[in-house]
């Protein structure tokens, strides 16, 4: 770790403090004849000893700012080619850092967020999709869990154990509305889970009194701003059709303390993140900034901004801003939400710069699944689909001096973030993790990451049937679990996944299928009861 100016002050102070502590110990041992000169020499010697011997000081723990956007599509940012949306601040992070072109999540919020938080595959946590969305019966599905059980450790917990001060802001979604009833049900569930109307707050008292263990505060965070069971902020009468949409104040969110100057949710969450960073500049901190934006309901940030995008030409390649009639307005409003997101990312980076924290801070920027409202004609599918438009997300990592500015094609999964955070914090974590640290990509292209397979297992049906998937090098094999039907795509030559090669390339299909089946068997991955597979 290179010491920058900001770190030197606390470091010298700690050296002196450590020196004094040791000198005090020596004094207590009644070694009394130490001249002032000798004490000075000893202090300097101790400073050097502490510098070279203490990993806690010689390897100061970096801050982590983890920005997770909701439903932001792969092409919804300038750094992935959008000419319609405006993201100059995010693009600057990407330009100065590592753009991961093949960054993957699950196709929906719940399994992605559970995998990110726990570092575990869906089959270990039972979270396969957003509960309540499943199509079909208990033969076609293993209905998804909602609440992430205490036995599944989240990255925030080992980070807290080594001194990180952490705050969660925005969407949580890792607890169900009725965790007591849910966890008492026999598993696998016979029926999919239910949720209350957004304006029904009867669950709040029980959650506040009894469910802290499923909330950020029970997972190593000092504070939760806005995290609930819900996957959107629309907690008011009318839900998505309500006046504020949850984005304009008053927020109606029982986990956000109203402030007099509240106006727009994305701004407010950023205010609280900056306040927390300001309070904890001397600590390693984790900012788990999981913005609700740009999830529905779509709201225009201001009339002026909406007008700007209504007048701006759309992008015929991606289809962004090309809507007609009502869709044109929706496209423009969505663009204002992205611009607001970008403004707020800029505010966070500005704070880090102004306070000399950038060189000791890893910033991760990504999304939890593909676009829902946005358009991307360059990829097949969108949120909910196992095709690239549903799972490939805009991602960059920035850490000046530690991460080279470049783009990589090496595939990275959301599962990799937990082990990456452990790696940079110097934590030897011994729990089950299904991903790998990707710090090797910070300044190179490790073969171990380039050639590894990535796996998905969706044991519930939403936009299409239950399936499992292997992606290795440029090939992606999807096996549907109901009937065993397979699709093989060459992502290098067919990024839109239009040509199923399963029939014409039997050797590659069988090789990948064997690897996929071996993975399922060696991990006892469960299949829906109605599956023809074994």
The contact set with Ca ion (CB under 5 A) reads 70-71, 109, 368-369
Rounded Cα gap, residues 322 and 341, in angstroms: 21
Rounded Cα gap, residues 324 and 330, in angstroms: 9
Residue 306 or 345: the one with the smaller Cβ distance to Ca ion is 345
Give the shortest CB-70-to-Ca ion separation in angstroms: 4
Residue 110 or 531: the one with the smaller Cβ distance to Ca ion is 110
Rounded Cα gap, residues 385 and 105, in angstroms: 11
Residue 89 or 369: the one with the smaller Cβ distance to Ca ion is 369
The DSSP-derived string for 436-460 is ---GGGSSS--HHHHT--EEEEE-S
Residue 71 or 359: the one with the smaller Cβ distance to Ca ion is 71
Residue 109 or 461: the one with the smaller Cβ distance to Ca ion is 109
**Tokens, residue 408:** 């990589």
Give the shortest CB-71-to-Ca ion separation in angstroms: 4
Residue 158 or 176: the one with the smaller Cβ distance to Ca ion is 176
Backbone angles phi, psi at 174, to 5 degrees: -105, 15
Residue 291 or 399: the one with the smaller Cβ distance to Ca ion is 291
Give the shortest CB-128-to-Ca ion separation in angstroms: 15
Rounded Cα gap, residues 284 and 166, in angstroms: 9
Using DSSP, state whether 178 is helix, strand or coil: coil
CB-based closest residue to Ca ion: 109
**Tokens, residue 421:** 């955070």
Is residue 369 within 8 Å of 383, Cβ to Cβ?
A: yes
Give the shortest CB-415-to-Ca ion separation in angstroms: 16
Give the shortest CB-361-to-Ca ion separation in angstroms: 25
Three-point CA angle 166, 369, 328, nearest 5°: 115
The DSSP-derived string for 270-317 is HHHHHHHHHHTTTS-EEEEEE--TTSSSP--S-HHHHHHHHSS--BTT
Give the shortest CB-109-to-Ca ion separation in angstroms: 4
Give the shortest CB-456-to-Ca ion separation in angstroms: 16
**Tokens, residue 410:** 């090496």
Give the shortest CB-250-to-Ca ion separation in angstroms: 24
Residue 236 or 368: the one with the smaller Cβ distance to Ca ion is 368
Element (H, E) at 391: helix 388-391
Q: How many residues does this entry show for the chain? A: 534
CB-hemisphere CA count at 13 Å for 400?
A: 11
């Amino acid at each position: 770790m290179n010491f920058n100016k900001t770190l030197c002050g606390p470091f010298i102070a700690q050296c002196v403090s450590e020196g004094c502590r040791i000198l005090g110990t020596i004094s207590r041992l009644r070694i009394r004849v130490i001249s002032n000169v000798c004490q000075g020499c000893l202090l300097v010697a101790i400073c050097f000893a502490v510098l070279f011997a203490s990993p806690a000081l010689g390897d100061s723990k970096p801050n982590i700012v983890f920005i997770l956007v909701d439903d932001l599509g792969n092409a919804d940012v300038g750094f992935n080619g959008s000419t319609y949306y405006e993201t100059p601040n995010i693009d600057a992070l990407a330009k100065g850092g590592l753009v991961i072109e093949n960054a993957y999540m699950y196709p929906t919020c719940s399994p992605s967020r559970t995998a990110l938080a726990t570092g575990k595959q869906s089959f270990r946590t039972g979270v396969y999709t957003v509960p309540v969305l499943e199509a079909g019966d208990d033969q076609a599905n293993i209905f998804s869990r909602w609440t992430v059980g205490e036995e599944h450790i989240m990255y925030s917990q080992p980070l807290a154990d080594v001194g990180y001060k952490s705050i969660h802001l925005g969407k949580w979604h890792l607890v169900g509305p009725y965790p007591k009833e849910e966890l008492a049900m026999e598993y696998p569930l016979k029926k999919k889970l239910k949720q209350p109307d957004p304006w029904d707050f009867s669950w709040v008292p029980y959650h506040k009194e009894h469910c802290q263990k499923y909330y950020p505060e029970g997972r190593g965070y000092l504070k939760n701003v806005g995290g609930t069971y819900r996957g959107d902020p629309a907690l008011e009468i009318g839900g998505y059709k309500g006046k504020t949409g949850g984005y304009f104040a008053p927020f109606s969110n029982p986990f956000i303390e109203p402030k007099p100057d509240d106006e727009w949710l994305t701004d407010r969450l950023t205010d609280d993140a900056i306040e927390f960073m300001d309070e904890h500049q001397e600590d390693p901190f984790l900012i788990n900034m999981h913005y609700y934006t740009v999830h529905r309901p779509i709201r225009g940030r201001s009339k002026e901004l909406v007008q700007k995008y209504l007048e701006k030409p759309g992008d015929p390649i991606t289809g962004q801003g090309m809507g007609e009639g009502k869709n044109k307005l929706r496209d423009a409003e969505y663009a204002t939400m992205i611009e607001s997101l970008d403004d707020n990312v800029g505010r966070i980076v500005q704070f880090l710069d102004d306070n000399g924290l950038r060189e000791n801070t890893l910033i991760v920027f990504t999304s939890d699944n593909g676009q829902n409202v946005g358009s991307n004609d360059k990829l097949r599918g969108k949120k909910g689909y196992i095709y690239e438009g549903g799972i490939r997300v805009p991602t960059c990592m920035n850490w000046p001096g530690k991460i080279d500015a470049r783009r990589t094609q090496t595939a990275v999964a959301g599962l990799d973030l937990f082990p990456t955070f452990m790696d940079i914090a110097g934590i030897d974590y011994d729990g089950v993790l299904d991903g790998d640290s990707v710090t090797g990509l910070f300044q190179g292209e490790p073969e171990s990451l380039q050639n590894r397979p990535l796996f998905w297992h969706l044991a519930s049906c939403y936009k299409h049937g239950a399936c499992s998937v292997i992606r290795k090098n440029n090939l992606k094999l999807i096996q549907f679990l109901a009937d065993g039907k397979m699709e093989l795509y060459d992502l290098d030559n067919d990024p839109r996944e239009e040509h199923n090669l399963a029939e014409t390339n039997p050797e590659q299909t069988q090789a990948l299928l064997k690897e996929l089946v071996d993975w399922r068997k060696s991990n006892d991955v469960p299949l829906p009861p109605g599956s023809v597979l074994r």
